C-alpha cells in the first residue's frame, strides 16, 4: 500500500526537531545508530532530520529519511519555502505534515498531502486529538500520528495516560479511511510504551526526545524495536 | 436539529465582508432589507456583518445574525481576538469559521467548532473543495459551506461551473456526518444559481457580492428566496 | 499633536482583553467606572474593549475608546477582518496595533498605522523591547507602548523590574521620531508603578489585569490617576 | 564591517526561490556559473538556494551562500523550523530575513537578526518601502534590501520605475543606522538597472528571476557585474 519499498509497518519514526543532539554531523551519527538498530532487529526505523541535514543524512544511511514539513507549493516564487520536489530530490521518502510545532491551515494540509502524493513522498499528518485525526483521515494521507500536545516531551506516554485517545483515533480514522495507517506519539520513552501503542491498534510510533535526548539512543531504539516485535506476536 | 429557533433550512446567508455597502449604518439597512424579504417570502435569510456591527444589527432585526469569524479561545488574555461568548452576547446566533479570506489551522477549526457548540452558536465551516469539506465534516459543525475560492466574486456560480464539486461534497459530507447541513457559495448572482444549488443537494447558499453589491439587493434576495421555494417543491 | 480632542497625555489606557470582567455589559460598567475616575481626577483614561463591545461602550461613555486591533485593509473582500473605518464609525478614537497577544508582520504594522492615520484613529503600537520600539518609531505611529511580554500579567512592573528598558526605549524612540509618545505596560498594579513609569520618561501606561481583575477597579484607577498627577508635579 | 571574509560590497545576491531552474543539481550548476562570473570579474556574487540545497551548494562553490530564511529560534523543540545554527553548519554565511514571500512578525525579525548575529550569519532584511526600511534599520541588520513587491518579477526595475523609493530608503536607513548596507531589488534584468541602483546610493542588488529565468544566466551575470564595476568608477 505504501509507495516506497523502504517504508513498512510497524514503523518507528524519530523526529530530530532542532535538537542540538541531532543537528548537522550529530544528525548523521544518530541516523547511523538508527540504521544499525534497524538492521539488527529488522524493524523499520525512519529519521526526520532538519531540512539542511536531509541530503547529508540521506546519502549516509539506507533507512527511510523524512522531512519535518513541506509547504503546499510547487516550483515558482516561494522564497524561504520548503518545496516537496526539493525534499524528494534531496533523498527524503516522506514527510511530516502539521506537526503540533508547525501547524498548518486545513486547506494547506489538504494541498500538502496532494503535493506529497504527486512527487511520491509518504505523508504523515500529525493530529492533536480524535476529531482532528478523523478530519485528517478524510484527506487520505498515508499515515496519521496522533500526539496530544500536552504530553509531548513529558515522558508520560499517551498509550498509558490516555489510551482511549489512541483507540478512538484508530477507530475514527479506520471508519473514514480504512487504508490510513495510525501512529501515536508524545511521551514515549521505553519499550513498554511502544508495545502498549501497538496493542492499542497503532502500527508504529512517532518519537523525538525519548530517543534523541536519551543517554544511550542505541539502547532505547533497541528497546523500542524489540517491543515492536514482541507486540506483534 | 439546529439549536436556534430562528435558523432553519433552506437558508440564505449573506456575508457582508468589509464591503462599504454593508458597513455601519448600511449594515443595518441591508439587514432590514433582508428581514423584509424573509418575512414576505417565509424563507430563512441570515446576515453576517462585521464584528462591531453585530450588536447594532442584532438589535434592529429579527432575522438570524452570524459572526464572520470566531477565535478558538475563552475568557482571558487574548487581546484583539474574537471571543465566542462576546459574539453570542452581542446577539449573534451563529458564526462562519474558516472562510477562504480567514483560513484557520486545522486544530483551531476543531477548537472553534467546540467553542461555538459550548456557547450555543451555530457553526458554518467554509471549505474550498470536496476533500476539505469531508475533512470538516469529521469535526461535526452544524453546516459546511463549500466555495471554490477561484469562483468567489466572479459571478460564475459553482452550481453551474462545477456542479460535480457540489454533488461530491454533499455525498462526502453525508457519508461522514449525515446530520451536517451542506451549503454552497461562490459566484451566485441569481435565482437560477440558487435553484441549481438546491437541486444538487444543498440546503442553502452563502452569498456575498451577489447580494451586497447588487444594484437592488431587495430584488436579488426576493429572486433568491423564490428560487429556494421553487426548488423545494 | 494628537488628532483627537478627547485624547491627551499623560494617559492611562485600560486594555479589556477578553476578560470575563470586561465583556459585554461588564465592559460598559467598567468603562463607566473609568469615566467617573477620569472626571473626578481630570486624568485622561481610555478603554480598549473587544470589537463587538466598541459601539455599545462608545455610546455610553465620553472617555476615549480604543480598538484592541485593526487589520491593514480597506473596504472589500476581507471576511472576518477588522476594518479601520468600521471601528471608527463604531465610535473608537484609536487602536492598539501589534499587541504581544496579536503580533503583526512588519509590513502589516506599517500598513495598519497608515490606515489608522487615513481614517483618523490614534495608533498605539505595542513593542516588546527597546530595538522593536525603535523600529516601530520609524513608522511614526502616535504612541508606542513597550511591554516586556515576560512581565505581562505578573504584577511585577517593568518600571521597577527593568527600568532600563523604559529609559532606553524613551531615548531610542525620541531619537528616531521625537513626536512619538511613549507609554509603558506590563505588571502595573499600583500608583507607585505608575509614578515610576512617568518619572522614567513615559507619558502614560497601558494596563490590563491590574485594573480589570482588581477587587475594586475604581480604587485602583483613582490610585493610578493620583500617581500620574503626583509624578507630573 | 561585515563579519565574513567572503562577503564584500558591492554585492549581487541571486535568490533561487523555488524555481525549477535553480533546484537540486541545477542549483549547484547555477552556483558554479555565478562563481565563474565572480572570479572573472572580481565582483562579489552570492547565491541563496533552498534549504536542502545549501549543504551541497556550499561544498561545491567558493562564493558566499545565503539561506532564504531563518526562524528566530535556538536548539530545541521546533519541528519544521529553520535553525540558524544548522544553516551556518551547512555552509551558509548569511541569510535573507523577511522576504516579501516569507514575511515575519516585527518581534520575530528582531529576534532573527539577533540570532543571525549570535551564530555569525550576515543578515539581509527585505523591506517593501521606505518606512519599513527605516524600521528595519533600527534593528541593525547587516543589510537591508528594499523591493517594492508590486515590481517583483515584472522586469520593471525599481531603480527606474521608482528611483525615489531607492534614494529615500538609502537616506532613511543611513539616518537611523549609518553602518547598514542598502541593496535594492525587484524587476532588475540588465546591467543598466544595476548601474542605476548603484548610482542611487545602494551597494548592491538582490535579484531572482532576472538571473535564474534568463536564457543565459552567465551572460546576464557578467552584464550585471560589469555594470557594478562601471558604476563604481
In this model, does residue A2 exceed pLDDT 80?
A: no
Handedness of CA C166, C172, C174, C176 (dihedral sign): negative
| DSSP character string of C140-181 | --SEEEE--GGGTTTS--HHHH-HHHHHHHHHHHHHH-TT-E
Residue C62: burial class (beta carbons within 10 Å; 0-12, 13-18, 19+): exposed
How far apart are the C-alpha atoms of C126 and A172, rounded to whole Å? 44
| pLDDT band for position A220 (cuts 50, 70, 90) | very high
Residue from the list D18, D74, D77 with its beta carbon closest to the beta carbon of A81:
D18
- Residues C12-38 have a mean pLDDT of 98
pLDDT at A42 over 80: yes
Pairwise CB contact (< 8 Å): C53 & B86: yes
Could you report how far apart the first and last alpha carbons of chain B are, in Å?
A: 22
pLDDT the model gives residue B90? 97
pLDDT value at A90 more than 80 = yes
pLDDT score, position D1? 53
Among the ranges given (A3-7, A182-186, A210-214, D67-71), the one the predictor scored with the smallest mean pLDDT? A3-7
Three-state SS sequence of chain D: CCCCCCCCCCEEEEECCECHHHCCHHHHHHHHHHHHHHHHHCCEEEEECCHHHHHHHHHHCCCCEEECCCCCCCCECCCCCCCHHHHHHCCCCEEEECCCCCCCEHHHHHHHHHHHHHHCCEEEEEECCHHHHHHHHCCCCCEEEECCHHHCCCCCCHHHHCHHHHHHHHHHHHHHCCCCEEEEECCCCCHHHHHHHHHCCCCEEEECHHHHCCCCHHHHHHHHHHHHHHHHC
CA atoms of C146 and C154, how far apart (whole Å)? 15
What pLDDT score does A1 carry? 53
Chain B residues touching A109 at Cβ < 8 A: 106, 135
Mean pLDDT score of chain C, rounded to an integer? Answer: 94
Strands of B94-97's sheet in order across: B44-48, B11-15, B204-207, B181-185, B143-146, B122-127, B94-97, B66-67
Query: Residue A150: is its pLDDT beyond 90?
Result: no
Residues of D with Cβ-Cβ distance to C100 under 8 angstroms: 107
Closest-CA distance, B53 to chain C, in angstroms, reads 7
Q: Do A and D have ≥3 inter-chain CB pairs under 8 A?
A: yes
Compute the distance between CA of residue D133 and CA of residue D137 in angstroms, rounded to an integer. Answer: 6
Shortest distance between the Cα of D105 and any Cα of chain C, in A, equals 4
Report how far residue D228's alpha carbon sits from residue D42's, in angstroms, rounded to the nearest whole number: 10
Residue C55 has pLDDT above 70, yes or no: yes
Distances (CA, A) of C126 to A48, B79, B110, C50, C96: 38, 11, 30, 17, 7
Q: What is the pLDDT of residue D149?
A: 79
Report whether A97 contacts A72 (CB < 8 A). Answer: no
Asked whether the predicted pLDDT for residue C5 surpasses 80, the reply is no
Catalytic residue among C118, C147, C150, C164: C147
* pLDDT tens by residue, A132-145: 999 999 999 999 99
Report yes or no: A177 at the B interface, CB cutoff 8 Å: no
Region for residue C224 given its phi and psi (left: phi exceeds 0; alpha: psi -120 to 50; beta: otherwise): alpha
CB atoms within 10 A of CB A94: 29
The answer to whether the Cβ–Cβ distance between A89 and D19 falls below 8 Å is no
A140, A177 contact by CB (below 8 A): yes
Report whether C27 contacts B65 (CB < 8 A).
Answer: no
Strands C143-146 and C122-127: parallel
Which letter does DSSP use for residue A121 in this model? P
**Residues of A marked as catalytic:** 99, 147
Burial of D121 (0-12, 13-18, 19+ CB in 10 A): buried
Confidence grade of residue A155 (pLDDT, cut at 50, 70, 90): confident
Q: What is the pLDDT of residue B159?
A: 80
Nearest CA-CA partner of D124 in D134, D106, D137: D137
| CA gap B146, C67 in Å, rounded | 32
Cα separation of B192 and B160, whole Å?
9
Q: Do the chains contact at C17 and B87, CB–CB below 8 Å?
A: no
Bridge-based pairing of strands D66-67 and D44-48 is: unpaired
CB atoms within 10 A of CB C91: 18
- SS3 category, C65: strand
Chains that touch C (3 or more CB pairs under 8 A): B, D
With 0.90 as the threshold, say if the pTM is over it. yes
pLDDT of D89 over the 60 cut: yes
Q: What is the mean pLDDT of chain B?
A: 94
pLDDT tens digits for range D115-149: 999 999 999 999 999 999 999 999 999 999 998 87
Collapsing DSSP to helix, strand or coil, C115 comes out as helix
Instruction: Please give the average per-residue pLDDT across A169-188, as a whole number.
Output: 93
Q: What are phi and psi of C46, to 5 degrees?
A: -115, 155
User: Is residue D34 very low, low, confident or very high in pLDDT (cuts 50, 70, 90)?
Assistant: very high
Closest chain B residue by Cα to residue C77? B17
Question: What integer is the mean pLDDT of A13-40?
Answer: 98
Our answer to whether residue B69 is catalytic in this structure is no
Query: Cis peptide leading into D171, omega within 30 of 0?
Result: no
- CA distance from start to end of chain D: 22
Strand, helix or coil for residue A233: coil
Q: Does the pLDDT at position C1 exceed 60? A: no
Tell me what the mean pLDDT of segment A204-230 comes to. Answer: 95
Q: Of residues A155 and C15, which shows the higher confidence score? A: C15
**A43 grid coordinates:** 524493524
Residue written as cell 430563512? Answer: B44
Question: Which pLDDT score is estimated for C3?
Answer: 61
A19, C83, C198, D91, D114 from D83: Cα distances, Å: 10, 36, 40, 13, 13
Q: What is the ipTM of this complex?
A: 0.95
Q: Do chains D and C touch (3 or more CB pairs under 8 A)?
A: yes
Whether C188 has a pLDDT exceeding 90, the answer reads no
Give per-residue pLDDT as tens, A58-67: 999 999 999 9
- Closest by CA to C18, choosing from D14, B180, A72, B80, is B80
> Does residue C212 sit at the B interface (CB-CB below 8 Å)?
no
Residue C166 near residue C206, CB atoms below 8 Å: no
Give the pLDDT confidence score for residue C156 in this predicted structure: 83
Please, which residues bridge with residue B67 across strands? Answer: B95
- Grid cell for residue C47: 478603554
pLDDT, residue C113, reads 98
Q: How many CB pairs under 8 A join B and C?
A: 142
pLDDT value of position B3: 61
Q: What is the pLDDT of residue C162?
A: 84
Matching residue, cell 476594518: C83
- Burial (CB < 10 A; 0-12, 13-18, 19+), residue C233, is exposed
Q: Do D86 and A17 touch (CB under 8 A)?
A: no
Confidence (pLDDT) at B2: 62
Q: Is the pLDDT of residue D4 over 70?
A: no
* DSSP three-state, residue A63: coil
D219 pLDDT higher than 80: yes
Q: Are strands C143-146 and C181-185 parallel, antiparallel or unpaired?
A: parallel
Q: In this structure, what DSSP letter does residue A80 have?
A: T
D8 vs D5 pLDDT, higher one: D8
A172: left (phi over 0), alpha (psi -120 to 50) or beta: alpha
Does B4 participate in catalysis according to the annotation? no
Residue whose C-alpha cell reads 524519530 in the numeric block:
A14
CB nearest D134 (choices: C132, C138, C172): C138
| pLDDT given at position D161 | 82
C2 pLDDT band, cuts 50/70/90, is: low
Distance from CA of D164 to the nearest CA of C (A): 18
Is D104 part of the contact surface with chain C (CB cutoff 8 Å)?
A: yes
Q: Which residues have CB under 8 Å from C217's CB, separation 6+?
A: C30, C33, C34, C211
Q: What is the pLDDT along chain B (233 residues), one digit of tens a residue?
A: 566 678 999 999 999 999 999 999 999 999 999 999 999 999 999 999 999 999 999 999 999 999 999 999 999 999 999 999 999 999 999 999 999 999 999 999 999 999 999 999 999 999 999 999 999 999 999 999 998 887 777 778 878 888 888 999 999 999 999 999 999 987 888 898 899 899 999 999 999 999 999 999 999 999 999 999 988 77
Q: Is pLDDT above 70 for A113? A: yes
Residue B75 contacts residue C21 (beta carbons within 8 Å) = no
Q: What whole-number distance in Å separates Cα of residue B204 and Cα of residue A195?
A: 49
Better-predicted residue by pLDDT, C51 or A166: C51
Rounded CA-CA distance C169/C158 in Å is 12
CB of C52 less than 8 A from some CB of D: no
Report whether D52 contacts D26 (CB < 8 A): no
Amino acid at each position: 500500500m505504501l509507495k516506497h519499498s523502504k517504508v513498512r509497518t510497524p514503523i518507528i519514526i524519530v523526529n530530530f526537531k532542532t535538537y542540538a543532539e541531532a543537528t548537522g554531523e550529530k544528525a548523521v551519527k544518530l541516523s547511523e545508530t538508527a540504521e544499525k538498530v534497524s538492521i539488527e532487529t529488522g524493524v523499520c526505523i525512519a529519521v526526520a532530520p532538519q531540512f539542511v541535514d536531509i541530503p547529508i543524512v540521506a546519502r549516509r544511511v539506507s533507512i527511510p529519511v523524512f522531512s519535518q514539513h513541506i509547504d503546499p507549493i510547487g516550483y515558482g516564487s516561494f522564497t524561504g519555502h520548503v518545496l516537496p520536489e526539493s525534499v524528494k530530490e534531496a533523498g527524503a521518502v516522506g514527510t511530516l505534515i502539521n506537526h503540533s510545532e508547525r501547524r498548518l491551515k486545513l486547506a494547506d494540509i489538504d494541498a500538502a498531502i496532494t503535493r506529497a502524493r504527486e512527487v511520491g513522498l509518504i505523508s504523515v499528518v500529525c493530529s492533536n486529538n480524535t476529531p482532528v485525526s478523523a478530519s485528517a483521515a478524510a484527506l487520505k494521507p498515508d499515515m496519521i500520528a496522533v500526539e496530544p500536545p500536552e504530553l509531548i516531551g513529558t515522558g508520560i506516554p499517551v498509550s498509558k495516560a490516555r489510551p482511549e485517545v489512541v483507540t478512538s483515533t484508530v477507530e475514527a480514522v479506520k471508519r473514514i479511511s480504512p487504508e490510513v495507517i495510525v501512529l501515536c506519539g508524545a511521551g514515549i520513552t521505553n519499550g513498554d510504551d511502544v508495545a502498549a501503542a501497538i496493542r492499542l491498534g497503532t502500527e508504529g510510533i512517532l518519537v523525538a526526545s525519548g530517543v534523541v535526548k536519551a543517554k544511550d539512543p542505541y539502547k532505547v531504539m533497541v528497546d523500542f524495536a524489540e517491543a515492536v516485535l514482541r507486540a506483534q506476536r
